Structure 1
Amino acid sequence: MILSLSVQSFIKKDINKKITLTGSTNNESVTMFRNKK
């Protein structure tokens, strides 16, 4: 039970990291696009 809980929390953290990475990349590309104008 404890093991599965820790695995679940680890997966959640990993998903959050991926979401943050994707979000920051999108923000960077949007900023680059705005700077080109």
Structure 2
Amino acid sequence: FLVNRIDGETNASARQQQIQEFNNPECEVFIFLISTRA
């Protein structure tokens, strides 16, 4: 499985890019991990 991950080290532009990619219907990323404790 392909995975995206956001944590406290992820800057705002990279975060937005990952979210847009994940929301794309043609995206092959299956899992999105988000750390709320970062």
Relative to the length of structure 1, the TM-score reads: 0.39
Bigger strand fraction? 2
Larger radius of gyration: 1
Relative to the length of structure 2, the TM-score reads: 0.38
**Greater relative contact order (CA < 8 Å, ≥ 6 in sequence):** 2
